[in-house]
Copies of this chain bind each other. A is one copy, B any other.
Amino acid sequence: MSDRRTEILTAATRVIARRGVRGLRVGELAAEAGVSAALIYYHFADRAALLRETLGFIGDRAERYTTERGAAECRPDDPRDDLVQALLLELQDTPEVRENSTAWGELRASAVFDGDLREDLARATHAWVHEIAMLLGQADPAGTAPAHAAAAERLTTLLEGLSVRWLSGSLPLEQAQRVLREAVEAELTPR
């Protein structure tokens, strides 16, 4: 991806996380990204295209920070730790994760009202569920593929719910992390 394009998508995520999707105006985005509005329209046909690509950008960024695991706290090559980290790293109080989770939740919430994003959102959701099902398969090889798919649906949906409860001030972060950790343990057969 060109640098300019990445800069625009980074700025779009930041604006959405700060003011919501409905607060995203091309003029403000141009100022945030330090480019002209014309350049934004050069890279993205219209607002719907910009939102779709921002959704993809958020997904890629989440995949990056949830796969930067395996360092300090994890036993290397333990697929259970891999699974727990892939989920728990979405509940961290760092600027990047908070911004990413806020923007993802906001794009999800806006799709309730705006049909444009639904197809891309469903595709991104399915890709995420599939990725977690794969990790479940490695962590729990005795289980079946349909059982892993169902568990991945439960865990990712729970994580989305925990994330918005955390960000909206109804659940402290530590409690959200604990709920998620217990839910993962409950899905795995005991060691």
Which A residues are within 8 Å of any B CB, using their own CB?
Answer: 19-20, 22, 102, 105-106, 108-113, 115, 118-119, 121-122, 125-126, 150, 153-154, 157-162, 164-165, 167-171, 175, 179, 182-183, 186
Known: A121-B169, A121-B170, A170-B125. A20 touches B160 (CB 8 A): no
| Nearest neighbor of A167 in chain B, beta-carbon distance | B112
Closest Cβ of chain B: how far from A16's Cβ, in Å? 10
Can you list 5 A-B pairs with a CB-CB distance of less than 8 A? Answer: A22-B22, A108-B165, A112-B168, A118-B170, A186-B186
Q: Smallest distance from the beta carbon of A36 to chain B beta carbons, Å? A: 27
User: Distance in Å from the Cβ of A181 to the closest Cβ of chain B?
Assistant: 11
Is the CB–CB distance between A183 and B154 below 8 Å? yes
Complex CA distance for A165 and B108, rounded to whole angstroms: 8
Most buried by B among A20, A106, A179: A20
Q: How far is the CA of A102 from the CA of B113 in the complex (A)?
A: 9
CB neighbours of A110 from chain B (8 A):
20
